[in-house]
């Protein structure tokens, strides 16, 4: 469960982007975080992932205990994906092998898991291709595959379908839905509705410098 209290954040000496007095989230749903450009969606996701320290207030994931500031506290548990995911300068399979190696998987186990994940994400045919030569949609699918290998509890996705064509949005949306069905809670930011945001069952809206949470699109101020 996520518990946020008295959270405020801004850059340098500028006024806070927003203030969130209290937020409690069970960490099971598929959440659409919406807000205009510059409303602080990325900042909020990065704070929740522990990649930045808040100016004030606290963020507490009870699935991991207290979250130390500005460091990823629980690799594989709460993962943040950049809007344009960073792919390591190696092959598609090589990107997954990195993760396997970091988690001590060796030999057949690593090979099987990597192969299965490539298959699941529709990237098996690209296994030996250079990761950075993939299209936008394939890049996002590879980033999701890399995250999925770790069976994350929570995935924070920053505009995962921005600048993708219709087919790529459909492919990425299907993958995100499948990931959610495995029990991974997801918060995804998007400032435009899409086929993916239609599948969400909870809505967070950054508006007028505060976060409004609603189920079934009914706004409730927090």
Shortest distance (Å) from residue 149 CB to another protein = 8
Shortest distance (Å) from residue 36 CB to another protein = 24
* Radius of gyration for the alpha carbons in the chain, expressed in angstroms and rounded: 17
72 close to 50: Cβ distance less than 8 angstroms: yes
Footprint on this chain of another protein (rule: CB under 8 A):
49, 51, 71-72, 75-76, 79-80, 82, 84-89, 98-99, 102-103, 132, 146-147, 150
| CA atoms of 147 and 134, how far apart (whole Å) | 17
Is 96 or 190 the residue whose CB approaches another protein more closely? 96
Two tokens at 67? 């979250």
Is 79 or 213 the residue whose CB approaches another protein more closely? 79
Return the ∠ at Cα 85 (arms to 155 and 98), rounded to 5°: 85
Is 7 or 96 the residue whose CB approaches another protein more closely? 96
Shortest distance (Å) from residue 154 CB to another protein = 12
Two tokens at 187? 């918060």
| CA atoms of 41 and 148, how far apart (whole Å) | 23
Is 80 or 204 the residue whose CB approaches another protein more closely? 80
Burial 101-125 (b: 16+ CB within 10 A, else e): eeeebeeeebeebbeebbebbebee
Two tokens at 103? 């988690």
Shortest distance (Å) from residue 77 CB to another protein = 10
Shortest distance (Å) from residue 88 CB to another protein = 7
Is 34 or 146 the residue whose CB approaches another protein more closely? 146
205 close to 211: Cβ distance less than 8 angstroms: yes
Is 101 or 217 the residue whose CB approaches another protein more closely? 101
Shortest distance (Å) from residue 87 CB to another protein = 8
| CA atoms of 222 and 217, how far apart (whole Å) | 14
């Amino acid at each position: 469960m996520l518990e946020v209290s008295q959270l405020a954040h801004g850059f340098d000496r500028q006024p806070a982007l927003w203030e969130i007095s209290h937020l409690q989230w069970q960490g099971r749903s598929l959440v659409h975080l919406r807000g205009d450009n510059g409303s602080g969606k990325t900042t909020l996701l990065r704070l929740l992932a522990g990649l930045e320290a808040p100016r004030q207030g606290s963020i507490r994931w009870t699935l991991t205990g207290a979250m130390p500031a500005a460091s990823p506290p629980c690799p594989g548990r709460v993962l943040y994906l950049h809007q344009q995911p960073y792919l390591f300068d190696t092959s598609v399979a090589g990107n997954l092998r990195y993760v396997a190696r970091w988690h001590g998987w060796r030999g057949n186990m690593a090979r099987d898991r990597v192969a299965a994940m490539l298959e699941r994400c529709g990237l098996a045919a690209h296994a030996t291709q250079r990761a950075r030569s993939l299209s936008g949609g394939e890049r996002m699918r590879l980033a999701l595959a890399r995250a999925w290998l770790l069976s994350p509890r929570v995935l924070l996705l920053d505009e995962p379908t921005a600048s993708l064509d219709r087919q790529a949005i459909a492919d990425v949306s299907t993958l995100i839905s499948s990931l959610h069905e495995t029990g991974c809670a997801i918060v995804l930011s998007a400032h435009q509705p899409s086929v993916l945001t239609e599948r969400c069952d909870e809505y967070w809206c950054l508006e007028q410098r505060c976060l409004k949470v609603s189920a079934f699109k009914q706004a409730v101020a927090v």
